[in-house]
Each structure stands twice: as structure tokens, then as C-alpha cells.
Structure 1
Amino acid sequence: MENSTPVSIDLTTVITQTDGSKEELTLTSAGEWMTKNNIDYLKYEESQEAGTVRTIVKMEEDQGVILRSGALKMRLAFRTGEAMVSTYESEYGTLSLVTETKRYVHQATGRNSGRFHVNYNLEMAGSSVGNYEMTINYREAVSK
């Protein structure tokens, strides 16, 4: 991809389960930001118990997609006000997910920095899993 820039990524996800319990997950990672065909992308990796997960966040003006591969395979699609079909691959096969996006924002905050925010309800196999609020702040990494 063209114009790849190393970035620092701060990701926060707040999950509110259907029973009302809340969980907050945070991740700080090094990654890459790039633009291709006027679409912004973020790429980063995270280590989980099952292994390394590679994530690509495709950020268009009015919609986005999160692609995860490696130890976890998942595709989540977002467009405000719409229910989008998504998928999660497990050892039991591919599960169908539905994301109902309440809010989607992608804004540049500088030349190589920005903010991606999405608030969505997640359904798996027809049942509500909960509400997810994910915010990714990214900025150009300062080389030492």
C-alpha cells in the first residue's frame, strides 16, 4: 500500500452486555496508517492467548470495516443506521454476526493522525451480544 506511516495506536473498547455488566478493554500498539484510493487504513497486531491477531481497519467517510486475521478471524462492517452482516470464524465454523451501527465517526486530527469511533449493537446467531463502543486514536510515531 502507498504512503504508509508508522503510528502509535490507542484503542479503547467498552462492552455493555445485555445483562448490563460492563467491560473495558484497552490496547496500545504500534501500527501503520496508509491511504489507498482516498480511503484510510490502519494496520496493527495484537497478541492474545490464542496467538497473534492482525487487524486492518478500513475507514471511509460514512462506513468502515474491521478485518481481523490470524488467531482470530472476523469481519465487522459498519454504516450508521444500518444493520450490516458480518462474520466470525470459530473452530465450530463461520458464525453470522449483525452489527447495528448507532454512531460512526472517522476524522483526521492532523496530517498523520486521527480518530476512529464506532458505537454498535452486536448480534450473534440472532441473539444480542451487547453494545460495543470502540475508539481508536492514532498519531504518527516519533522515531527515537
Structure 2
Amino acid sequence: MSMEETKVKIKLNSTILPIDGEKENYEMWLDGSVVKKSGKSYLRYVEQLEEKEIRTTVKMGNEDAFILRGGGVKMRLPFNTIKEEIGEYETQFGSMPIITKTKHLSYDYNEDNQLSGKFNVQYDLIISGQSVGKYTLEIQYSEVQK
């Protein structure tokens, strides 16, 4: 199984609209890599959150995708445009099931002379049977010039 890895610059925009509370927007610029494996694209990056290092892998697709986080935050967030998916979030008290209801999922990429792409997911996050908010994540990446 061959793996192709390309270094990329990443712009990540996240919007959270909690059920109770104010809308939150986050924008981050990160260094990472895109790995092609078995015809699928995976985006990998590390972010610092307070004192914690969080390793993130995003499997990008148009019908299904997932976000896997390890390190300071442990979480598996699956997305599927056809059905609700069950993921999990690790807390200090143990693992908690979380449900994602995907409203929109798209992944566009270009591999001509410079690898670039855009991944977008909009979903409701449901914990203990209650929606906690509407989330939008938009990731754009482009190959680092050598």
C-alpha cells in the first residue's frame, strides 16, 4: 500500500452556534500534510490548545468523513450525509458517546501543478439526546512550495 505525503499550509475556520449562547468563530493557520492512502485523502496537523498538543487527522470525502483527535483532546467525530453517526469524546471520567447529524459535506481538491483543496462540513452535535449546537468547519489547504 503506497502512501504519498505532501506538506501543506492550512487555513481552518470553525463556527459554533450553541443552543444557548453567542456564536463563536475561530480561525487558525497551521502547518500540516495531506496523505493519500487507498484513494482517500487524509489531512494531518497538530494544534496547540493552552498547554496541550492535539494531533488531528481529517479523512476528507463527499459522502462520509471523520475527524480523529489525539493527545490533549481525544475524540472521534464521524460524518455521513445519509445517516446520523455515533462518535466518542474522551473525558477524564471516561468515554462519552456523541452523535453527529451531518447537514452538508463537501470536499474539492486540485492536484494539477500544486496540490490544494477545500473541505467543508456542517453538522449538529448531539450529546445525551440533546443538540448542543450547530457547527461549521471549513478547511482550506495548499501545497508548500519547495
Give the TM-score taking structure 1 as reference length: 0.94
Q: Which runs of 5+ in 2 are unaligned?
A: none
How far residue 20 of structure 1 moved from its aligned partner, in angstroms, is: 5.4
- Counterpart Cα distance in 2 of 1:81 and 1:132: 18
Give 1:86's aligned amino acid.
G
Per mean C-alpha deviation after superposition, the further-off stretch among 33-42 and 56-65 is: 56-65
Query: Residue 16 of structure 2 aligns with which residue?
Result: 15
Query: Residue 33 of structure 1 aligns with which residue?
Result: 34
Count how many residue pairs are aligned between Structure 1 and Structure 2.
143
Kindly report which structure 2 residues correspond to 1:81-96, keeping only aligned pairs within 5 A, or say none: 81-96=82-97
Query: Residue 118 of structure 2 aligns with which residue?
Result: 115
Q: Percent identity?
A: 36
- Note the aligned Cα RMSD (angstroms): 1.3
Query: Residue 67 of structure 1 aligns with which residue?
Result: 68
CA contact (8 A) 2:61 2:106 kept: no
CA contact (8 A) 1:118 1:134 kept: yes
Deviation track 1:96-132 (CA, whole Å, cap 9, x = no partner) reads 1000000000111344110000000001122211000
Deviation track 1:19-48 (CA, whole Å, cap 9, x = no partner) reads 252000111100000110000000000001
Per mean C-alpha deviation after superposition, the further-off stretch among 113-122 and 56-65 is: 56-65
Give 2:56's aligned amino acid.
T
- Counterpart Cα distance in 2 of 1:28 and 1:125: 33
Q: Which runs of 5+ in 1 are unaligned?
A: none
- Counterpart Cα distance in 2 of 1:114 and 1:4: 14
- Counterpart Cα distance in 2 of 1:104 and 1:53: 23
CA contact (8 A) 1:100 1:121 kept: yes
How far residue 66 of structure 1 moved from its aligned partner, in angstroms, is: 0.3
Deviation track 1:62-81 (CA, whole Å, cap 9, x = no partner) reads 11010000010000000114
Distance of aligned partners of 1:77 and 1:3 in 2 relative to their CA distance in 1, 3 Å threshold: same
Q: Which runs of 4+ in 1 moved over 3 A?
A: none
Give 2:12's aligned amino acid.
L
